Amino acid sequence: MKNPLQLTINIVLALAVAGLYFLHFNHTPVAPALATDSSTAVMATPEPAADTTTTAPSPADAAAPAVAAAPVQDNTGDFSGKLAYVESGKMLDGYQGMKDARKAFEGKARGWEKQNQTMLAGFKANVEAYQKQAASLTAEQRAATEQKLQEQQQQVGQQQQMLQQQAQQEEAKLTQTVLESVNKKVEAYGKAHGYKLILIAAPSGTIAYGEKNLDITTPVLAYLNAGYRKK
């Protein structure tokens, strides 16, 4: 049977673990993979909720600087297509749909943190109340109260795990929604501008080298944000 001192130590540990977890609730971008579509390679699979409608080129896109793209030969010998790439981190960080999704997630995370702190505060209050009256209780009463506190501690731990799972699921859902939207819009941009292939330059090293004149991140980002603002 754990004594009051040991229970107090357990509370401190629970608070520390919970605090560390919720400090890491802020979302970090997931490095996108490459799709296998024959006409364009864009981000596939999971980053947060944005519009999934494909939009036509916007005035902001038309005003973006022209980019020289390399021709790509297909299996028929046609060199009329173009090749380019976008920097995934720069594009996703600058996309308003991603910013809004992160903001929505952080709002929910604050709610989960509040639930966690409420649970911990209730448990701590019960332990403190027990410590104040422990000396006046019989051995049987102390044993019964400590048993209840241990059960409550386990319940708090289970609730914390549920909150963590809820946060992970919500983050994955928002990520999936945003990436699906970005994929469709990058594909629409590529078709509208005659690209046969648009690659993703990710921090993980998807593209080892690419000439800067093939980087169309800026005009693609302008296209994404112009379409997002229209919704």
Is residue 166 classed as helix, strand or coil in its secondary structure?
Answer: helix
Answer whether 174's CB lies under 8 Å from 105's CB: yes
Answer whether 113's CB lies under 8 Å from 25's CB: yes
Nearest C-alpha neighbor of 44 from the set 210, 142, 160, 186: 186
Q: Could you tell me what percent of the chain has a pLDDT over 90? A: 54
Strand partners, 197: 83
Residue owning tokens 């802020």: 26
Answer whether 104's CB lies under 8 Å from 96's CB: no
Top-confidence residue, 126 or 70? 126
Q: Could you read off the pLDDT of 182-227 as tens digits, one per residue?
A: 999 999 999 999 999 999 888 777 787 788 889 999 999 999 999 9
Copy the structure tokens of residue 229: 């603002």
Copy the structure tokens of residue 145: 């109260």
Top-confidence residue, 82 or 25? 82
Answer whether 48's CB lies under 8 Å from 101's CB: yes
By DSSP bridging, strand 195-201 and strand 43-44 are: unpaired
Which residues in 145-230 belong to E strands, given as ranges?
A: 195-201
What pLDDT was estimated at residue 208? 78
Q: Could you read off the pLDDT of 57-72 as tens digits, one per residue?
A: 333 333 333 334 445 4
